[in-house]
Amino acid sequence: MRSLQPNLTVNMNNKNRRLDNMNGKGEEKRINRRKFFRTGAQTGLLIGLGGIATLAARKAGSNEYVWQLDPTKCTQCGRCATSCIKTPSAVKCVHVYAMCGYCDLCGGYFLPDTKTLNTGAENQLCPTKAIKRTFIEDPFFEYTIDEEVCIGCGKCVKGCGAFGNGSLQLQVRQDRCDNCNECSIARNCPSDAYSRIPVDQPYLLKGFGQKNLDIK
Amino acid sequence: MKKGIALVVLTILFAWQMVSSYAIQRFPKPEFESGYITPETLLPTPRAEILEVMDVAVLLLALSVVTWAVLKRRSRNLVFWISIFSLAYFGFYREGCVCSIGSIQNVTLAIFAGSYVIPWTVLVFFLSPLVYTLLFGRTFCAGVCPFGAFQDLVSWRPQKIGTRLNAVLGVIPYIYLGLAVLYAATATDFIICRYDPFIGIFRFDALFSMFIFGGILLLCGVFIARPYCRFLCPYGVLLNWISRFSKYHMTITPSICVECRLCEDSCPYESIEKPVTVKNPESRKMVVRKFILIMLLIPFFMLLGGWTGSQIHESLAKVNGKVRMADELLHPEKIQAEPESIEMTAFKASGKSVKELYNEASRILRQFYIGGWILGGFIGLTIGGLLAGRLITRYRTDFEPNRGTCYSCSRCVDYCPIKS
């Protein structure tokens, strides 16, 4: 378009320029060649983009994906607490009540060498005291996680898995997770427990298949 | 006989116990007498999918509006306000994720890695700015990218740093892009996301080192406009090359250039090309010589780069966790960590055999060997191409934006005295 600007500038330059032909025709030819080259490049780029798009689109899903950790692979190394870009981490301990034995001596609540089973701070495994122990009836106690306080270190998960039913499990809390393009916990996870899973089934709980997640 | 029956009963009982202990837990769920009802395990849902669709809609809308503002309205003011909106929406509200820059890696991973499924929204985030750029130039950089908007906001005293330094620093994005693609294609790491300087600021939460990095970039940005965009952004490489062939790129003047030189210093990115009318006419012989030099130079640089890349492929592959693990197992004398590393514990717990790991690691190493050649060749091509670009003199009569590096920010348009 701009090449069709007033002839004045074109002529002015031709005076100085050393072109193949020192007249307007040469300039025109050059412009045509450039135009041809430009159109060619545009078409090439368009085809290239289309190619990349088709290659990627073959693997494109209509679904959105979220990060989740698989408790069966988790080794409770404690990195969920430290590697998340959020402080505190978006990974929390989740209590699957349906699996809980409501034990008095809870492996997830008490330190292994606890003498007296009471809520004293010196007895608790949780470094932030995020687990609440409430008496229900003899000899059963309910344990609830205060997610505001939980840092996702997995100490209780380890204890519960070793001595109890494994009802305490680490999970990425989807309301807290920013769903980064690359999860920095996933990158640091030594057990390869993290994966992207479809957004309509955002939790992977151990002991219960994905399908019967309506554990009441 | 009695003994036999007892044995059968015992066997059945034993088998029953085996089955039941498998089905229920170590401590069976108690039957409460006090009427206690087991509470429900709450599973909060992620961000609604409709909001993801909204992100895409906002992206396309912002792209369209900013393109209109640049090409039709020719208004710097409007571009500025759209960029503020984008900074607020894509930056602080969406916390910089998902972004077009990072989407390069998702697309690469989708093409190369078997199991990865790329969400369609990410694909749109990758493609739409490229398509817009092919048509209208880098309007995405002007007002949609939150990184650009952020840096634009702080560039109060932009200084010129000179074409030479510009060209040298301009190689970094190519290297960054090459590395990002290599690490994404081998499913190792998303380095663009990992070393993203501004995302921590958008979230008010990041590693201290990344805050420092972001802070330094913003501080530099006061004096050197858009340091990330010009000297780091890997997506900018793609946009740069596509924009060179854009169909309707922004122009400084709406009609004719009167060479008033008012726009000359308006561009903080040094992207305005000055008119080059003949100063030193080149003889045909010189032109041919230059051409031959370029044609020899580029393959030489590519081979050199490729060879270097293949030589350092083992170091490049060390970023990969599996390769690192295999290396640790192969050279136990190198490990000083006492007690053993978390990775080692986890590996032993996983039940995977060492041989399996070695096989996997050698497969990844092989990928890095090929990738090293390609990466090196690509960097060689870049350097050769940039050198060749400096050998070529282009003649032009007007002040024109450099289509590659121009962000279509429309500052120069404000300075142009010709308004129609």
> pLDDT tens digits for A26-78?
667 777 888 888 899 999 999 999 999 998 888 887 778 899 999 999 999 99
Q: Testing the interface with B: which of A85, A138, A145, A170 to mutate, by most B Cβ within 10 A? A: A85
pLDDT at A13 over 70: no
What is residue B287's predicted lDDT score, i.e. its pLDDT? Answer: 81
| Chain A contact set for B339 (CB, 8 A) | none
| Chain A contact set for B194 (CB, 8 A) | 182, 184, 187
> pLDDT tens digits for A121-147?
888 999 999 999 999 888 899 999 999
What is residue B4's predicted lDDT score, i.e. its pLDDT? Answer: 58
Is the CB of A16 less than 8 angstroms away from the CB of B278? Answer: yes
Is the CB of B247 less than 8 angstroms away from the CB of A42? Answer: yes
pLDDT at A19 over 70: no
Q: Which of the four pLDDT bands, split at 50, 70 and 90, describes residue A10?
A: very low
Q: Testing the interface with B: which of A30, A31, A45, A174 to mutate, by most B Cβ within 10 A? A: A45
Two structure tokens written together for B220: 């530099």
Give the span between the Cα atoms of B241 and B389, in whole angstroms: 13
**For residue B23, how many other CB atoms are within 10 A of its CB?**
7
Give the span between the Cα atoms of B322 and B343, in whole angstroms: 10
What is residue B153's predicted lDDT score, i.e. its pLDDT? Answer: 93
Among partner residues A49, A103, A181, which is closest to B127 by beta-carbon distance? A49
Helix axes B100-112, B120-136, angle to 10 degrees: 120
Strand-strand pairing, A140-145 and A65-69: unpaired
Q: How far is A166 from chain B (nearest CA, A)?
A: 9
| Chain B contact set for A142 (CB, 8 A) | 36, 39
Give the span between the Cα atoms of B246 and B403, in whole angstroms: 8
> Could you give the 3-state DSSP secondary structure of residue B206?
coil
Among partner residues A184, A190, A207, which is closest to B342 by beta-carbon distance? A190
Give the span between the Cα atoms of B213 and B216, in whole angstroms: 5
| Chain B contact set for A10 (CB, 8 A) | 397
Residues B418/B258, Cβ–Cβ less than 8 Å: yes
Q: How far is B91 from chain A (nearest CA, A)?
A: 13
What is residue A49's predicted lDDT score, i.e. its pLDDT? Answer: 92
Is the CB of A100 less than 8 angstroms away from the CB of B28? Answer: no
Is the CB of B29 less than 8 angstroms away from the CB of A17? Answer: no
Q: How far is A5 from chain B (nearest CA, A)?
A: 7
Q: Testing the interface with B: which of A59, A69, A195 to mutate, by most B Cβ within 10 A? A: A59
Give the span between the Cα atoms of B198 and B90, in whole angstroms: 12
Give the span between the Cα atoms of B143 and B411, in whole angstroms: 12
Mean pLDDT, chain A, as a whole number?
82
Of the candidate CATH numbers 1.10.3470, 3.40.50, 3.30.70, 2.60.40, the domain formed by A65-198 belongs to 3.30.70
> pLDDT tens digits for A84-109?
988 899 999 999 998 898 988 999 99
Among partner residues B28, B121, B194, which is closest to A182 by beta-carbon distance? B194
What is residue A9's predicted lDDT score, i.e. its pLDDT? Answer: 45
Spatial CA neighbour of B146 closest among B244, B210, B74, B55 = B55
**For residue A41, how many other CB atoms are within 10 A of its CB?**
15
What is residue A7's predicted lDDT score, i.e. its pLDDT? Answer: 41
Q: For residue B148, give the H/E element and its range.
A: helix B146-154
Is the CB of A64 less than 8 angstroms away from the CB of B121? Answer: yes
Q: Which of the four pLDDT bands, split at 50, 70 and 90, describes residue A2?
A: very low
Is the CB of B118 less than 8 angstroms away from the CB of A182? Answer: no
Residues B402/B244, Cβ–Cβ less than 8 Å: no
Is the CB of B97 less than 8 angstroms away from the CB of A190? Answer: no
- What are the residue ranges spanned by the domains of chain A? 2-57, 65-198
Q: Which residues 6+ apart lie within 8 Å of B329 measured at CB?
A: B354, B357, B358
Among partner residues B49, B123, B345, which is closest to A57 by beta-carbon distance? B123
Give the span between the Cα atoms of A43 and A186, in whole angstroms: 40
Two structure tokens written together for B173: 């994005």
A-B C-beta contacts closer than 8 Å: 207
Helix axes B172-185, B354-391, angle to 10 degrees: 150
Is the CB of B120 less than 8 angstroms away from the CB of A61? Answer: yes
Is the CB of B119 less than 8 angstroms away from the CB of A63? Answer: yes
Among partner residues B27, B47, B121, which is closest to A103 by beta-carbon distance? B27
Nearest-Cα residue of chain A relative to residue B130: A49
**Per-run averaged pLDDT (10 residues), chain B, 420 residues:** 54 47 65 86 88 94 96 94 96 90 94 87 94 95 95 92 90 97 94 92 88 94 95 96 93 90 89 80 81 90 96 94 89 72 83 90 95 97 89 82 93 90
What is residue B29's predicted lDDT score, i.e. its pLDDT? Answer: 81
| Chain A contact set for B346 (CB, 8 A) | 75, 77, 190-191
**For residue B339, how many other CB atoms are within 10 A of its CB?**
7
Residues A173/A93, Cβ–Cβ less than 8 Å: no
What is this model's ipTM?
Answer: 0.81
Spatial CA neighbour of B107 closest among B97, B116, B96 = B116
Two structure tokens written together for A13: 């330059």
A22-26, A157-161, A183-187, B164-168, range with the lowest pLDDT: A22-26
